[in-house]
Structure 1
């Protein structure tokens, strides 16, 4: 881009901004679903068995939160989640656009001048997406840990927490929070704000506690890789079909899917990625919420009030493979997919909204870049 010319297309930073804005929008729309699915996923196998019932569905969890915590309960950790969404989406889209553009540029350099680069293979899309996701995870996971803890909530924040624990209708999701609450500071010392939760994590586990779930998080980089890889492949096939049907040269590189078609392709892509990676998604939530640690302490016959002391003595948290092995022993293959319907509902709607609004947010991001360019020229 020359100094005398305004930007005509988005740079990797511009694509990152568009993706981050779109991600925040789509997640804000479905945020109550996000809180409900996190609480369902955090429920351990043992707590499900205590009341003889399966983990409640998303609608029941939402209604229970509304009844006991009000509208505010459906927006626990909203600020942290939006920060996490913006930073994660920005980092992912930036790295994805950067590595993909660099890779395509290298492919074109090996071809005769004027030759169009061939579409990337599925394997190449997956690898590029995984690299971008891994880089984004490393930088953004601390905010994810804080957001998860806030979404789970604490019974000390609820006036009827004691009554809830003894009520016959108590759910497994609420029992998980009761276990966690046993070793927390007294109510007057507890701060559930963003920095309060961060301080609690650092005080109890050190700075490394902010990176809980990093290993399964790195494994889960294949999730956006599968999502965007499948999306790009299906999109390229549909656009090629449109060009062929309309005649040669009708669409070209400027052809785009309609918002509704983008919604459908995005939903299909995200569903595929969620089904493939769901066991690790569940394990990651339990690690970050520390419900898996509480479950292990109970299996070791540790009194509930000594759960955190148990963690300090062993200095290690339960790993994802241990969680999956324990769940397999108790509930088999079905246990790995506890709460998957809630995950798919939230993830598919959010991702589909993101894909459907992606082009619009790219236009806005380009407009912002042009405005900043003009302001800089004016002040220069």
Structure 2
């Protein structure tokens, strides 16, 4: 990948990440509280729905930038003809690689953010300091495995579907999909992927919110899923599915639309277009 493409992917990814995280933060807070062990009302209800937003704001740009740099680089590395039947596999590998790298930044931010969301009276920096004091760096990466195990299946569904919908739309109209069309494709792909991966999101939330030293804090995804199934059944496994699908559908529209628009603009400027 050439330097303009690298810079465009970095900046466009960062802009897209910050945009979607800040705009949709209240929906994310509601989803987290619905999934929390103590229940929605005890976790804060509708009070303080912007609790934890500093953590999200700090982590958004580098997290999304890392994802898209890796995503575009792996796509470039695995270059195949656009008509090849291998294209979905290339997009799956690129998305998986992007998630593994991005989660190195996303997980510490997510741990602090989610604890702030269910404890709105505590300041973000105080929560961050307490985690470091009580659990060390490992505490910030609690749930890394469960987050990766959630994000990879999500991306394996979302990104090949997004790319396929864009390609289909492009073929139908005889020209490349515009940014708003890419955004619509992103909303459809994101909403579908969000629905089918909600149980993994519930498991990740339970692990991140568990008390230090408890069995849930060990990070065992299957154990977390089994515990939710045993206590709450199918309803528990799909807790928060409505705000999750709503947030990620809107997020897919904003995130992937903003990414395409910003990247196209930057590449156009780099090529000297007016």
Tell me the TM-score normalised to structure 1 length.
0.64
CA distance 1:230–1:117, change in 2 (3 Å): closer
Select which of 27, 30, 33 maps to 1:33: 27
Q: Structure 1 355/140 Cα, relative in aligned 2: closer, same or farther at 3 Å?
A: closer
1:141: which partner in 2?
A: 107
* Cα separation, partners in 2 of 1:365 and 1:145, compared to 1, 3 Å: farther
**Selected match of 1:351 from 252, 260, 264:** 252
Aligned residues: 269
Show the counterpart of 1:324.
225
Shift of the 118–315 alpha-carbon distance from structure 1 to 2, 3 Å rule, reads closer
Check conservation: 2:15, 2:259, Cα contact below 8 A.
no
1:278 corresponds to 2:205 = no
CA RMSD of superposed structures (Å): 2.9
Superposed displacement of residue 138, structure 1:
2.5
For residues 133 and 236 of structure 1, the distance between their equivalents in structure 2, rounded to whole angstroms, comes to 23
In structure 2, what is the Cα distance between the partners aligned to 1:86 and 1:136?
A: 10
Question: Is 1:118 aligned with 2:48?
Answer: no
Match for residue 239 of structure 1? 170
Q: Which position in structure 1 is the counterpart of 2:73?
A: 98
Distance 2:128 2:147 in 1: 19
| Cα distance, 1:102–1:199 mapped onto 2, change above 3 Å | same
What is the rounded CA distance, in whole Å, between the counterparts of 1:192 and 1:229 in structure 2? 39
Query: CA, structure 1 residues 75+370, in 2 after alignment: closer, same or farther (shift >3 Å)?
Result: farther
How far did 1:279 drift? 0.7
Structure 2 counterpart of 1:257: 178
Corresponding residue for residue 49 of structure 2: 74
> Aligned to 2:156, which of 220, 225, 248?
225
1:235–1:257 CA contact under 8 A, matched in 2: no
Structure 1 portions without partners, runs of 5+ = 2-6, 49-54, 108-115, 158-190, 244-250, 294-307, 372-380
> In structure 2, the residue corresponding to 1:13 is in which secondary structure?
helix
Gaps of 5+ in 2: none
The equivalent of 2:144 in structure 1 is 214
Offset, 1:327: 1.5
| Alpha-carbon offset, residue 335 of structure 1 | 2.0
Contact 1:141 1:210 in 2 (8 A): yes
Per-residue deviation, 1:24: 1.0
Maintained 8 Å contact 1:217/1:284: yes
| Residue 315 to residue 354, structure 1, CA distance change in 2 (3 Å) | closer
Displacement over 6 Å in runs of 4+? 367-371
1:296-307 mapped onto 2 (5 Å cutoff): none
With 220-229 and 355-364 compared, the bigger mean Cα shift is at 355-364
**1:269 equivalent in alignment to 2:189:** yes
Cα drift, residue 117 of structure 1: 5.0
